Amino acid sequence: GIQVEQSPPDLILQEGANSTLRCNFSDSVNNLQWFHQNPWGQLINLFYIPSGTKQNGRLSATTVATERYSLLYISSSQTTDSGVYFCAVDTGNQFYFGTGTSLTVIP
C-alpha cells in the first residue's frame, strides 16, 4: 500500500513561533486532508486540500500533488495548537493516515 510519511515526528515551539509540517506520500492520490488531534483525542478537520493552497486564520496548507507532498504552515503558534497533526490521503480505494507530527507549544 501507499506510504505516508510526516516530518518532523516531534516538534517543540516557543509560543509565537512559526512552523512547517510536511507530508510525503509514495503514490498518486485522489485527495488529501489535514487533521489536528487535540490532547483529548478529538480529530479536527483542518483542510481538505487535494491540490493548491488554502488558508484559514493562522494556518495554511499547500499540496503539490505532482511531487507527492503537502505542507501545513502554522504561524504565531499558540499553546492551543499543541497536539498531533495528521495528514491522510485517499487513493480511491482507501483512506491512509500519515505517521503524525507531535507538536508542543510552550508558553
Q: Which residues bind another protein (CB under 8 A)?
A: 30-31, 33, 35, 40-43, 45, 48, 50, 86, 88, 90, 92, 94-100
Q: Report the residue number, 57 or 92, with the smaller CB distance to another protein.
A: 92
Contact 34, 84 (CB under 8 A): no
Minimum CB separation from another protein for residue 54, in Å? 13
Beta bridge partners, 81, equal none
Minimum CB separation from another protein for residue 27, in Å? 15
Cell numbers representing residue 104 in the block: 508542543
Q: Report the residue number, 100 or 105, with the smaller CB distance to another protein.
A: 100
The CB-side HSE value for 27 (13 A sphere, CA atoms) comes to 10
Whole-angstrom distance, CA of residue 22 vs CA of residue 31 = 16
Nearest CA to 33 out of 49, 44, 20 is that of: 49
Minimum CB separation from another protein for residue 102, in Å? 9
Cell numbers representing residue 22 in the block: 510536511
Minimum CB separation from another protein for residue 50, in Å? 8
